[in-house]
Structure 1
Amino acid sequence: MRVTQSMLSNNTLRHISQSYERMAKTQEQLSTGKKISRPSDDPVVAMKGMTYRTNLTEVEQYKRNLSEAYNWMENADTALDKANSVLQRIRELTVQASNDTLEDSQKQMIGKEITQLKEHLVSVANTQVAGKYLFNGNDTTTKPVDLATNSFSSNQNVVELELSKGVKISVNINPTNVFSYDLFDDLSTLETALNSGSNGIDSNLDILDKHINNLVAERAELGARYNRIELIDERVSEQEVIANRILSDNEDADIERVITDLKMQESVHRAALGVGSRIMQPTLMDFLR
């Protein structure tokens, strides 16, 4: 086989060009910190990256759902705590009013305070978070309690959020167990009895105790769900760490190795240029021009 000067020159230029390509790819890995910049660089890494990124996106969505669940349940628990304080105060006033030595004017003063407490209880029942009513089932745009129109929520539909793969948790409470028509009707009856100076006020204590027990039971059930959500949050946080690590192992370049490869390719490239300069010597044609 006859080897000519042009064959040597072309081979040298081709190898030098390939050396530039390898150096460019290594420099790109060093600057981006990624193994690949396009699917054609490594289809297997690209396909795995799509799967891992989908898993990470799901976990991030669960984290957002958990934040929303905490927002719902913490505000609901705070509202129930306020409602419990109001009912306990009403009970104290009822015990005080049960004293037969009180005059009618004194009972009326107690009745006026209960009126204010009842109105405060309405505002608690109509608690909103981000423009959504907490205590009206899944109808978050309608006020659950309105004394002016004598309307009370009967919506027992749950508001569920998916907090993990296939795990949905209710984040609201049943308003009919807490802010029911019976509660406000009983408070109105107590209010009327006090304003009229009626006897037998102590008969309302058992009724108040029933409403307080309903509220405490609903709050305890909410607390149990809150504890479960905290456990789910811990597991999802661990899944997020694992998903990020797997994605990093699949896509992120080993910087130390990339730097070593780049140094080696620079040395090889310099050697190739040195050899090429010796091979591509002037020929007879250069002197005949």
Structure 2
Amino acid sequence: MIGRVTQQTLQRSTLANLQLNLSKMSDLQAQMSSGKKITKPSDDPAGTAQALSLRAQNRATTQYQRNAQDGEAWLTTIDTAMQTSVTTLRRVRDLVVQSGSGALNATGREALATEIEGLRDSLLGQANTSYLGRSVFAGSSNAGAAFRVDSTTTPPTYTWTGSPDASVQRRLAPDTTVRADADGSAFFGDGATSVFTMLDDIAAGLRAGTDVTSKLDDIDTRTSSMLGELSNVGTRTNQIKAAQSNNALALQDVSTRLSGVEDIDLAQTVVELQMQEVAYKGALGATARVLQPTLMDFLR
């Protein structure tokens, strides 16, 4: 059975095709203006899911990169404080060796004792170094200073306020973390075994006129321990720099993949838009012919 085609049917079909062409041209213009081929999830559901996954990966990697930068800043601050402390302790050793020459009188020994106490204060200042208001030698402790001094005792007591189990960690990758602080008790000692107590003993010995060269072995032991901790900080710094390099490559890779999913091919889109414009103009011409007949045309 042959269906009847009326003028209204023909008009309705022509207008529907015209609207379809106009919709396609609108989509292409939206892609051109935004530079993205996915302007809404329905444009490409699979591509949308992939883009969301890549964006989540990009955000995570960016956070890892910020963590690495913060960790590097912590370790750089620690490295500077440690190197300064080692240099200070070497100066103390030179003074102790000088005191053993036998050519110093009481005034000279007092001068050496005063200088050593000044070096002790310098070491204490380095031990209480902070970064952004947080002590770098006390882990996650909120005590404010890594070492607390009790001057009511003779000699003064130096107490480390941190905890070996409360370190500052920075995550560099989903399964990789690095320690960003340093153990102040391992580097400077704690209580009676601290480098500060040792320097107090040396200063007191100089004032009492005793031979303090026996402390050289203690100084060398502490210096060796400091250098070991300094080496550990260098190892962690290298680990962070390697992570930064890996994260930078990962970010570049994710950006490239995301661009492949979302970004348009500009040349191809321009060609498609021009073709659609030609089709739309043709549809307008056909529509003009379909809508041209009037009542007078039928009466003829």
TM over 0.5, shorter chain = yes
Structure 2 residue 74 is matched with structure 1 residue 85: no
Deviations 1:83-124 (A, max 9, x none): 111111111111111211111110101111111111111111
Question: In the aligned structure 2, how far is the partner of 1:67 from the partner of 1:141?
Answer: 25
The question of whether the paired residues in 1 share the 8 Å contact of 2:158 and 2:197 is answered with: no
Q: CA deviation at 1:285?
A: 5.8
Superposition RMSD on alpha carbons, in Å? 1.7
The residue aligned with 1:170 is 179
Question: In the aligned structure 1, how far is the partner of 2:20 from the partner of 2:266?
Answer: 22
Question: Which aligned pairs between 1:125-136 and structure 2 lie closer than 5 A?
Answer: 125-136=127-138
The question of whether the paired residues in 2 share the 8 Å contact of 1:155 and 1:175 is answered with: no
The question of whether the paired residues in 1 share the 8 Å contact of 2:158 and 2:196 is answered with: no
The question of whether the paired residues in 2 share the 8 Å contact of 1:156 and 1:175 is answered with: no
The question of whether the paired residues in 2 share the 8 Å contact of 1:162 and 1:168 is answered with: yes
The residue aligned with 1:19 is 21
Match of 1:152 among 145, 159, 169: 159
The question of whether the paired residues in 1 share the 8 Å contact of 2:64 and 2:173 is answered with: yes
Return the letter of the residue paired with 1:282: P
Question: In the aligned structure 1, how far is the partner of 2:66 from the partner of 2:221?
Answer: 37
Question: In the aligned structure 2, how far is the partner of 1:82 from the partner of 1:285?
Answer: 104
Question: In the aligned structure 2, how far is the partner of 1:38 from the partner of 1:191?
Answer: 76
Question: In the aligned structure 1, how far is the partner of 2:9 from the partner of 2:78?
Answer: 82
Question: Which aligned pairs between 1:191-230 and structure 2 lie closer than 5 A?
Answer: 191-196=203-208, 198-230=209-241
The question of whether the paired residues in 1 share the 8 Å contact of 2:68 and 2:172 is answered with: yes
The residue aligned with 1:29 is 31
Question: In the aligned structure 1, how far is the partner of 2:249 from the partner of 2:159?
Answer: 43
Deviations 1:16-36 (A, max 9, x none): 111111111111111111111
Q: Which moved more, 1:133-142 or 1:106-115?
A: 133-142
Match of 2:199 among 187, 195, 201: 187
- Alpha carbons of structure 1 residues 151 and 205: separation in structure 2 relative to 1, 3 Å: closer
Structure 2 residue 71 is matched with structure 1 residue 69: yes
Deviations 1:126-181 (A, max 9, x none): 11111110001221543111224534215223222110120111122221111223
Question: In the aligned structure 2, how far is the partner of 1:116 from the partner of 1:260?
Answer: 79
The residue aligned with 1:250 is 261
The question of whether the paired residues in 2 share the 8 Å contact of 1:132 and 1:141 is answered with: no
The question of whether the paired residues in 1 share the 8 Å contact of 2:61 and 2:251 is answered with: yes
Q: TM-score if structure 2 supplies the norm length?
A: 0.91
Question: In the aligned structure 1, how far is the partner of 2:279 from the partner of 2:41?
Answer: 28
Question: In the aligned structure 1, how far is the partner of 2:56 from the partner of 2:221?
Answer: 50
The residue aligned with 1:161 is 170
Question: In the aligned structure 1, how far is the partner of 2:109 from the partner of 2:248?
Answer: 56
- Alpha carbons of structure 1 residues 95 and 151: separation in structure 2 relative to 1, 3 Å: closer
For residue 204 of structure 2, give the secondary structure of its aligned residue in structure 1. Answer: helix
Structure 2 residue 239 is matched with structure 1 residue 232: no
- Alpha carbons of structure 1 residues 285 and 44: separation in structure 2 relative to 1, 3 Å: farther
For residue 156 of structure 1, give the secondary structure of its aligned residue in structure 2. Answer: coil
The question of whether the paired residues in 1 share the 8 Å contact of 2:112 and 2:206 is answered with: yes
Match of 1:260 among 256, 271, 281: 271
- Alpha carbons of structure 1 residues 209 and 281: separation in structure 2 relative to 1, 3 Å: same
Q: Which moved more, 1:274-283 or 1:118-127?
A: 274-283
Percent identity for Structure 1 against Structure 2: 29
Q: TM-score if structure 1 supplies the norm length?
A: 0.94
Return the letter of the residue paired with 1:193: G
Deviations 1:218-247 (A, max 9, x none): 001111121122222211111111111111
The question of whether the paired residues in 1 share the 8 Å contact of 2:67 and 2:171 is answered with: yes
Return the letter of the residue paired with 2:181: N
Unaligned 5+ runs, structure 2: 152-156
Q: CA deviation at 1:202?
A: 0.8
Return the letter of the residue paired with 1:215: M
Deviations 1:176-223 (A, max 9, x none): 111223211111100111223x23121111111111111101001111
Q: Which moved more, 1:139-148 or 1:34-43?
A: 139-148
